[in-house]
């Protein structure tokens, strides 16, 4: 699903907001509630109409992926909450974590299969060297 929404500026923001918070634990109910006011604040959308348009578009993409025009990725209540199933929450969270891991420099990523990669760096401590710059009155530098 992410592949279908990633080129739109707002859709990925809204999509990843659905997995912003971590769940309270295994004892939490299977439906995960998010406050719509928090979603508006986090995405900096000016009003709920734009958010509703994004939810509608994301849900239509979900229906296309599922090949089910009645499928619903999330639900709403009259108290200003959007609900997603815990499995959906965890799936979106994993996509976000994978994208985050891929954006990290290779040196800071964990090595595959528990391998220990050798440290590659300068052969001497360069932090103690003071830079030399040409200065007025010192033409030899």
Tens of pLDDT, residues 20-73: 776 566 666 788 888 899 999 988 988 888 999 999 999 999 999 999 999 999
Residue 6 lies in a domain: yes
93 is in which domain, residue-wise?
2-20+29-104
Residue 59 lies in a domain: yes
What lies within 8 Å, CB to CB, of 47 at 6+ separation is 40
| CB of 40 closer than 8 Å to CB of 32 | no
Residue 86 lies in a domain: yes
pLDDT, residue 62, reads 93
Measured distance CA(43)–CA(58) in Å, rounded: 15
| Domain total in the chain | 1
Residue 67 lies in a domain: yes
Residue 46 lies in a domain: yes
- CA-nearest of 113, 115, 41, 110 to 80 is 41
Residue 113 lies in a domain: no
Which tens digits make up the pLDDT trace of 61-101? Answer: 999 999 999 999 999 999 999 999 988 888 898 998 888 88
Residue 55 lies in a domain: yes
To 10 degrees, what angle do helices 86-103 and 10-17 make?
A: 120
* Residue carrying the six token digits 């976000």: 96
Task: Work out the number of other CB atoms within 10 angstroms of the CB of residue 65.
Answer: 13
Give the tokens for residue 45: 């959308």
Residue 122 lies in a domain: no
Give the tokens for residue 34: 């998010």
Q: Model pTM?
A: 0.64
């Amino acid at each position: 699903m992410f592949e279908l929404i990633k080129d739109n500026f707002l859709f990925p923001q809204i999509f990843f907001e659905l997995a912003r918070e971590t769940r309270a634990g295994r004892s939490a109910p299977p439906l995960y509630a998010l406050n719509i006011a928090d979603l508006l604040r986090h995405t900096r959308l000016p009003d709920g109409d734009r958010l509703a348009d994004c939810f509608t578009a994301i849900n239509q993409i979900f229906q296309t992926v599922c090949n089910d025009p009645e499928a619903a990725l999330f639900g709403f209540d009259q108290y200003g909450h959007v609900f997603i199933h815990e499995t959906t929450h965890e799936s979106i969270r994993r996509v976000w974590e994978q994208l985050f891991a891929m954006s990290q420099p290779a040196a800071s990523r964990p090595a595959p299969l528990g391998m220990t990669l050798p440290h590659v760096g300068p052969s001497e401590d360069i932090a103690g060297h003071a830079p030399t710059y040409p200065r007025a009155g010192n033409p030899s530098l």
